[in-house]
Amino acid sequence: MSWDMVRLGDMCDIARGGSPRPISQYMTTSADGINWIKIGDADPTAKYITSIKEKIKPEGVFASRRVYPGDFLLSNSMSFGRPYILKVDGCIHDGWLVLGNISPNLDKDYLYHVLCSSCVKEQFVEAARGAIVNNLNIDIANRTIIPLPPLDEQRRIAAEVEHQLAVVEKAKKLTEEQLELVLSAKSKSVETIFLSEFFANCEWIPIKDCSLKVGSGATPRGGQSAYHASGIPLIRSQNVHFNTFIVDGLAYINDKQNNELRNTVVMNGDVLLNITGASIGRVCVAPNEYCPANVNQHVCIIRLDKRFMPEFVSHYMATKEFQSNIMALQAGATRQALTREQVQDFKIPMISKSQQELILAEIQDKGTTFNRLYEILCNQRDTINAMPTAILRQAFSGQM
């Protein structure tokens, strides 16, 4: 490759944003307000910033920096070096660097993709090495080296990169749709089992007649700031998914906090049901490795008597039939929530343990096939997700 290598700072002006302080005194909803461009306004997967949620008063501009359509923004913390092209004007805070007055010898689509490439990201990371927090400053950006082929070659490369990335995005979307289909088919296979004539004719009993305990917990005083790095697990709604316990986001409390909460100790085999908010109805069995634990007020513990296998009940409660009962209770409500009494009144099928075991075996058998297919598609998605990096590496090493 015989391309010139140039400093980014020689091809554009690089500056940092700023904030009038206290920022709360400069926020406005007035029509003459100036767009206040925040990192939250940028879609992490998008090329352009096209809309802004907030504005500042015109007198706040003196302590900030004006930016214009066509300027490039680089996040100098958080997502660290992620580029965006502006399609709006406004002001930026010090979480952004702006690249303006871009040389006519540098195609903007080419510049966008080279800034996304590993050849630039690796320079950013290396320059920030040793810092407590990765931070992209003006000096680092100025010294960053980029390849500069002739303008026509830049345009050709940018067009080819965008074509290949569009193909990758299409493949990614197709794979995501296939993953959804697999999950839907797996769910329907379980639905079919519970919709059989056998269940239509069996006895159904309310949870209050077959449970040892039904109750929710509470949040420790201080909320999230009171959580610890280790201790007694506090299970929250984000940990409870359909027949899956998600460890990410698991909180921990100490003995004192645990004693201050309601008597809601979670034991292995308890059925956990989300009873508030958007995740209402999600259900799983508490895992042994995180018990004993506690729950907050958004999660209900259902401890069944010995006639029931928790996994069997959890699978039934995840069916559309059971979930429709929950949704029926929410019709017209301003806030989605289930009371303890409502949970106790839900009915579940009363069958022998041996029959429960047979049904769970059938669910497991069907699930194995779907799980295998799901794993294959997840691996395919991982491969697709790695493609953009490979495409950009190829483009800026002169191999495209």
What pLDDT digit, counting tens, does each position of 298-338 carry? 999 999 999 999 999 999 999 988 999 999 998 877 788 99
Q: Are residues 8 and 142 in the same domain?
A: yes
- The yes-or-no verdict on residue 197 having pLDDT over 90 is no
CB 239 within 8 Å of CB 250: yes
Of 121-135, 142-156, 345-359, which gets the smallest average pLDDT? Answer: 121-135
pLDDT at 133: 53
Q: Is the peptide bond before 292 cis (omega within 30 degrees of 0)?
A: yes
Q: Looking at the domain assignment, is residue 156 inside a domain?
A: no
| Distance linking the first and last C-alpha atoms of the chain | 11
Last residue of a domain, one of 350, 370, 394: 350
Domain assignment of residue 182, yes or no: no
| List of residues 6+ apart from 394 with CB closer than 8 A | 400
Highest mean pLDDT pick, 67-81, 217-231, 284-298, 361-375: 284-298
The tally of domains found in the chain comes to 2
Q: What is the pLDDT of residues 113-122, one digit of tens each?
A: 999 999 899 9
pLDDT band at 134 (very low <50, low <70, confident <90, very high): low
Give the helix/strand (H/E) hosting 264. Answer: none
Assigned domain for 10 exists: yes
Domain boundary among 116, 148, 180: 148
Beta pairing, strands 72-75 & 83-86: antiparallel
Quickly state the pLDDT bin for 86 (edges 50, 70, 90).
very high
CA dist 76 and 17 (Å) reads 10
Q: What is the pLDDT of residue 186?
A: 84
pTM surpassing 0.85? no
The DSSP H or E segment spanning 49 is strand 48-49
Q: For residues 130 and 18, state if they share a domain.
A: yes
Query: What confidence tier does 217 reach under pLDDT thresholds 50, 70, 90?
Result: confident
Select from 148, 166, 186 the last residue of a domain: 148
> Does 233 fall in a domain?
yes
Side chain identity, residue 327? M
> Of all residues in the chain, what percent carry a pLDDT higher than 70?
96
Closest of 384, 382, 391, 389 to residue 170, by C-alpha? 384
In this predicted structure, the answer to whether residue 291 has a pLDDT above a threshold of 60 is yes
Q: How confident is the model at residue 130 (pLDDT cuts 50, 70, 90)?
A: low
Domain encompassing residue 108 = 4-148
Residue type, 344: Q
Residue 223 has pLDDT above 70, yes or no: no
CATH code of residue 96: 3.90.220.20
- What is residue 355's predicted lDDT score, i.e. its pLDDT? 94
Residue 267 binned pLDDT confidence (cut-offs 50, 70, 90): very high
The predicted pLDDT at position 227 comes to 87
Residue 26: φ, ψ to 5°: -110, -5
Q: Same domain for 207 and 114?
A: no
Higher pLDDT, 248 or 129: 248
The pair of structure tokens assigned to 390 is 């490979």
Q: Select from 249, 239, 388, 362 the least CA-distant residue to 299.
A: 239
| CA 226 remoteness from chain centre | 23
Q: Percent of the chain beyond pLDDT 90?
A: 68
Q: Is residue 59 part of a domain?
A: yes
pLDDT reported for residue 214: 93
Kindly tell me the sign of the dihedral angle through the C-alpha atoms of 199, 200, 201, 207. positive
Go through the chain and tell me how many residues it has. Answer: 400
Does 116 fall in a domain?
Answer: yes
Tell me: do 228 and 345 sit in the same domain.
yes
pLDDT at 126 over 70: yes
pLDDT value for 261: 75
Residue 212's pLDDT band, with cuts at 50, 70 and 90, is very high
CA distance 337 to 220: 20
pLDDT at 184 over 70: yes
Q: How confident is the model at residue 248 (pLDDT cuts 50, 70, 90)?
A: confident
pLDDT band at 249 (very low <50, low <70, confident <90, very high): confident
Asked whether residue 397 is assigned to any structural domain, the reply reads no
